[in-house]
Homo-oligomer: A and B are copies of this chain.
């Protein structure tokens, strides 16, 4: 196990100075093309990897990242932001500044927030592209300026974004289908509500649900899907229609957050106890519905972990220049009445601002930080 190669090793091997090596490796001006290629070549053959500790110590620049997300209509985005915050605070090494830019509604103020982040000259952006097409040009601009962008929850294809962090849509849709089939004994009419088939994630979930249902439970009948376009009234209205047309509906899978209006529509049609609900996400209004077993199960999208992962990927890229993975997909959690309390307790516990700290044989200097 030999010592790691450092700048000085490269410098001595070529008979130059560390300053030159540094400039060559970082494309800084003041190096002849000839020297530059020689340095880069030598760095590669020696397997040079920068010592990050030394780098941090030497340059005190602190990274700035902008987090552009929806305002917390539900708790989902609060959790995402909490996850980002946690992971940022876990980085004791450096100081990462996080600037939160939120917009009130889907697609509203989204471009402005992105533009503001670029104008402010941040080093990286974590964003929820609620309207990918409208952000398209801004994201390409960021890409051209070499400002990495990480998407959370929803992808924005062909925008040059660095990475995307999301729940695996296939696993979600297939799990929902398998559960639905199991709960209903493999027969009956089922339906799906989604935001819009134009959104990749929702289309994929729907497809996975349909495919799995067909292959595992061929006797079940899948009705046409409902698109609510993220409008609650539309969700209520369209699902009311659905229930009217299909009084024998046995189950429904709500892939969006808008499960409450669908539940209310079923309640008003007096079909609540006839229909097995599988919903998405976990928020306060959903808790009593799960507890009363109106909702059989909900697929939790782990917003906090999504936030953590997004920050981690972005930070790793900013610091090391490489990206561990361009697509991080998480397995969803299944929440039913049985394990509901576990998740509720966990949320409330983790949302406490300070970290839980119990000292045990720690170096004395640390005691104070948490007194």
Whether A182 touches B336, Cβ cut-off 8 Å, given contacts A323-B360, A342-B168, A357-B326, is yes
- From A76-84, A99-107, A171-179, A224-232, give the one contacting chain B: A171-179
For the complex formed, measure the closest distance between the CB of A36 and the CB atoms of chain B, giving whole angstroms.
Answer: 9
For the complex formed, measure the closest distance between the CB of A277 and the CB atoms of chain B, giving whole angstroms.
Answer: 12
A178 B360 Cβ-Cβ under 8 A: no
> Using Cβ atoms and an 8 Å threshold, which residues of chain B touch A296?
182
> Using Cβ atoms and an 8 Å threshold, which residues of chain B touch A334?
175, 333-334
Chain B's closest residue to A312 (CB) is: B90
The distance in angstroms between the C-alpha atoms of A297 and B322, with both chains bound, is 38
- From A42-50, A66-74, A187-195, A239-247, give the one contacting chain B: A42-50
Whether A358 touches B326, Cβ cut-off 8 Å, given contacts A212-B338, A363-B26, is yes
Contact for A343 among B26, B160, B331, CB less than 8 A: B331
Whether A27 touches B364, Cβ cut-off 8 Å, given contacts A92-B320, A178-B339, is yes
Whether A359 touches B25, Cβ cut-off 8 Å, given contacts A56-B53, A57-B53, is no
Chain A: interface size category: 35 or more
Counting every copy of the chain, the complex holds 2
> Using Cβ atoms and an 8 Å threshold, which residues of chain B touch A25?
363-365
Contact for A322 among B157, B336, B369, CB less than 8 A: B369
Chain B's closest residue to A368 (CB) is: B44
B361 A146 Cβ-Cβ under 8 A: yes
Contact for A93 among B53, B170, B356, CB less than 8 A: B53
Residues of A116-163 whose CB lies within 8 A of B: 143, 146, 148, 157-162
> Using Cβ atoms and an 8 Å threshold, which residues of chain B touch A90?
316, 324
Chain B's closest residue to A158 (CB) is: B361
A185 within 8 A of B: yes
A283 within 8 A of B: no
> Using Cβ atoms and an 8 Å threshold, which residues of chain B touch A297?
182
A322 B357 Cβ-Cβ under 8 A: yes
B336 A342 Cβ-Cβ under 8 A: no
Whether A325 touches B355, Cβ cut-off 8 Å, given contacts A178-B338, A338-B175, is yes
The distance in angstroms between the C-alpha atoms of A289 and B178, with both chains bound, is 15
> Using Cβ atoms and an 8 Å threshold, which residues of chain B touch A369?
49, 321-322
Count chain B CB atoms within 10 A of each CB in A171, A172, A177, A341 and give the residue with the most: A171
Interfacial residues, chain A to chain B (CB-CB below 8 A): 25-27, 40, 43-44, 48-54, 56-57, 90, 92-94, 143, 146, 148, 157-162, 168, 170-172, 174-179, 182-183, 185, 212, 216, 293, 296-297, 316-317, 320-327, 331, 333-334, 336-339, 341-343, 346, 355-366, 368-371
